[in-house]
Amino acid sequence: MNPERDGQTPGNDVAGVVLAGGLSSRLGQEKALLRVHGQEHPDLLRRTHNLLTALLPRCWVACRPDRPRPGYDCIFDQVEGLGPFSGVHAALRAAAERGFAAVLALSCDLPFMDEATLRRLLTARETAPAGRLLTTFCQRETGFIEALTAVYEVAALPLFDAALAHGERKLSRIIPQERQERIFYSQTEALPFFNINYPADLELVRRLLAAL
C-alpha cells in the first residue's frame, strides 16, 4: 500500500477529466452528443461527466478552444492535433495548479462504462505500491492497456513534457511499464471499454442495448 495515501478515501485527491476534444471524423457525427441509451437519457458527454462527478471532487471536460462545451468546466488543449494526449496533458497541468495528486481520464465514447469499474480503478490506484505513475486496465489476452480509462499521477508531468518535446503522443508509451499499476481483465469482461469510433460500432452498441 502507498503510505502517502493510506487512510484516504479513494479518489479524494483525484480530479476527473472527460476527454471530448475529438473531431468524430470516423463516425461522421458528434459522438459526445449521442443519446445511445434513448432520448430521455443523457448524451454520452453528460453520462460520462456524471460518472466522474459521482466519484470525484472535481471534473473537467477537455476540449478544443474552437469547440468549447457549454455548461461544463472546460480545459483546453495546449497543442491541437495531438489527440487524447493533449487532453490528459492539460488536465495534469490543471490538477497540479489546483492541488490534486492525480487525474482520472475517461473518454466520452464509452457507452457501457459503469461506476463499479471506475471504483475498481480508484481502489487499485489507492493500494498500488509507491512510485506508480499510471493505474489502468490491461486486457490479459492481448496486453492492451486502457489508456483512456486510467489514473495519471501529477508526478508524471515531466514525462508528458518530454514526450511533447520529442513528438510522442501515444499515451501507452509515455510511462514505463515498471511504473504502471495494471488491473488485468479478460475479453469476456471487456464491455465497459467498448468505444464508438465508426458507424458499425454505433450500430453494434444499439443492438447490444436493445438486447439488454
Three-class secondary structure assignment of the chain: CCCCCCCCCCCCCEEEEEECCCCCCCCCCCHHHCCCCCCCCCCHHHHHHHHHHCCCCCEEEEECCCCCCCCCCEEECCCCCCCHHHHHHHHHHHHHHCCCCEEEEEECCCCCCCHHHHHHHHHHHHHCCCCCCEEEEEECCCCCEEEEEEEEEHHHHHHHHHHHHHCCCCHHHCCCHHHEEEEEECHHHCHHHCCCCCHHHHHHHHHHHHHC
Q: What is the pLDDT of residue 2?
A: 46
Q: Does residue 5 lie within any of the structural domains?
A: no
Q: Is 157 marked as binding a ligand?
A: no
Q: If you search the block for the grid coordinates 518535446, which residue do you land on?
A: 165
- Which grid coordinates are listed for 154? 501529477
State the pTM of this model: 0.91
Q: Does residue 2 lie within any of the structural domains?
A: no
- Which grid coordinates are listed for 193? 471499454
Regions of the chain with pLDDT less than 50: 1-7
Q: Is 131 marked as binding a ligand?
A: no
**What CA–CA distance (Å, rounded) separates 202 from 131?**
39
Q: Does residue 8 lie within any of the structural domains?
A: no
Q: How many structural domains are present in the chain? A: 1
Q: Does residue 9 lie within any of the structural domains?
A: no
Q: What is the pLDDT of residue 79?
A: 75
Q: Is 31 marked as binding a ligand?
A: yes
Q: Does residue 203 lie within any of the structural domains?
A: yes
Q: What is the pLDDT of residue 103?
A: 98
Q: Does residue 6 lie within any of the structural domains?
A: no
Could you report the per-residue pLDDT of 107-122, keeping only the tens digit for each? 999 999 999 999 999 9
Q: Which CATH number fits the domain that encloses residue 136?
A: 3.90.550.10
Q: Does residue 3 lie within any of the structural domains?
A: no
Q: At what angle do helices 44-53 and 115-127 cross, to 10 degrees?
A: 40
**What CA–CA distance (Å, rounded) separates 154 from 152?**
7
Q: Is 130 marked as binding a ligand?
A: no
**What CA–CA distance (Å, rounded) separates 46 from 51?**
9
**What CA–CA distance (Å, rounded) separates 102 from 125?**
10
Range of the domain at 50: 14-211
Q: What is the pLDDT of residue 5?
A: 47
Q: Is 28 marked as binding a ligand?
A: no
Q: Is 109 marked as binding a ligand?
A: yes
Could you report the per-residue pLDDT of 8-35, keeping only the tens digit for each? 567 799 999 999 866 666 776 788 889 9
The β-bridge partners of 151 are: 104, 135
Q: What is the pLDDT of residue 23?
A: 62
